[in-house]
Amino acid sequence: MSFESRLKAQALGLGFDLAGITTLGPAETHAAFTAWLAAGHHGEMDYLRRGAELRADTTRPEPGMVSAVVVALDYGGKQPDGPVARYARGADYHRVMWDRLDELLAWVRHERGSEVHGRAYVDTGPILERDLARRAGLGWFGKNTMLIHPALGSFFFLGALFLDCALEPDAPFADEHCGTCTRCLDACPTEAFVAPQVLDARRCISYLT
C-alpha cells in the first residue's frame, strides 16, 4: 500500500468515517464566500469577515503547510429528530476530532520522521472546509449548502490535518447529484435559503438561537 493509502486507513481506524487527501492552495469557493459576506448573509458573525483574506488560500493560515488530510465524522443522521440538534447530543465534537487528528499526526511522524510539522483544524480556523473536502473527494455541495456524500448524506463534521509534506492528492468530487430536487429548500421553515446554495444566516433558526 502507498503511504497515502495507509494514512487514510489509519484515519478510518481512528474512528473517522471518511478520509481524503488534497493539495493546499487557492480556495475555489472564495469568490462566492466574499459575495456572501458582501450581501450581509453572515449576520453578526463578524469573525468570518475578519479572517476572509486568509480563507482565500489554504496555504495562508499556517505557513509552510502543503497538503491536507480531510476527514468526516458521522454524528447520527439516523437518530430521531427533536428539539436538540443531532450534532449537539454528544461530546464536544471539536475535542473529539482534535484528539483523533493529533493521534493521526503522531502516526505520520512515526512513519515519516519527527521533523514533520502539522496542524489540526476542526471548525476553528480561517478555512473553507467544504472546499477542501470536495477537492479531497468527499462529496458535492448540496442546494442546502452542505457537503453531501453519496452514502453518508450530510450528517457529519469536517476536519483537516494540515501537513508540511507533499502527498499524492485524491481526485476531486466532480459530480453533482441534486438534479432538480429541492426538498431541502422547501423544508426550511424560515425560508433561509435565498437561492440554491445560498443561506441567509439571519433567517436561520440555528443562528437565531
Catalytic positions: 123
Q: Which SS3 state, helix, strand or coil, does residue 141 take?
A: strand
| 120 sits in which H/E element | strand 118-121
Nearest to 36 by CA among 206, 209, 194: 194
CA pair distance 155, 143, nearest whole angstrom: 15
* Cα separations in angstroms, 155 against 27, 73, 86, 114: 23, 8, 9, 35
Nearest to 8 by CA among 137, 150, 124, 127: 137
Q: Which SS3 state, helix, strand or coil, does residue 131 take?
A: helix
Q: Is 118 exposed, middle or buried (0-12, 13-18, 19+ CB in 10 A)?
A: buried
**CB count, 10 Å around CB of 71?**
30
